Structure 1
Amino acid sequence: MKVKQHLQQPLPIRQPCEVAAKEVMPSIRASIAYVLVNEFKLSKYEAARLLGLTPAAVSNYIEGRRGEKYMAKILNDKAKAEKIREAAMIILAYSSDAKSSERFQNITCAICSSVNEVAQMYGCHYLTMKKPEQLHA
């Protein structure tokens, strides 16, 4: 009986990368999709092609049915929103050179680590490597 009760209790510690994959990254993708469609005026089909998603997924992101948990927190923060715009421009330029890829990864990691409460509580490898303000242009 005690084993069954123990198995029903939630785990006290969640892994930062688990939260990132399930909650934060969808919000980052949703924010990028929002910027591509609403600010850069791309069609949902074109945004989907650039993001490697279906048009339905882009619609779900934009309409808040997917990735909504941190989207407002990202887009309502001036610095985070600017990083999202920069990430969208990298995607729009379809630049896959090493420097652009590294910059895109740094942007997404900086945003993720700044909104991921679990990473802030328990640590995140990215947070120990670089601070968002230390990212190079």
Structure 2
Amino acid sequence: MQQVTSKGYYLVAAHNENQARPMASCLQHGGCVATILNSVAHRAKSFGRDPTKLGRWAYVRIQGKKFAMLTSDNQVCEASDASRSRFSRDLVVVAAYQPNPPGTDKSTVWAQHRSFFRSQGRQREPREAFMVDLL
């Protein structure tokens, strides 16, 4: 996974880190990039990716408006400024790539993902695994 922060943009890239690229080519199908630009780039709060390292998704969390915690009777909680500042309405930008149905080539994203799951002793269908894991 690569994270790049620069004036004017914030970028998170994810690709399959579990399988080496074929020797004949530097091309590896699949992967995702989540990017935020310009005036919101400085509000990037956190980032992440698919924990399997298959490059199925990458995300950036953008800090939204901060707000105070309220009690059930709409009174502001007595809390320190530090703890109150943790609460905000954030936006999460997710870039995701679900593999296409199985093909004949061993380098397809579907084949890469099936190979990974089998190496883990799990008989998962890559497209179904994508939906279950993302949710």
- What's the TM-score, normalizing by structure 2? 0.26
Greater C-alpha radius of gyration? 2
- What's the TM-score, normalizing by structure 1? 0.25
Greater strand fraction, Structure 1 or Structure 2 = 2
Greater helix fraction, Structure 1 or Structure 2 = 1
Higher RCO, 1 vs 2 (CA within 8 Å, ≥6 residues apart)? 1
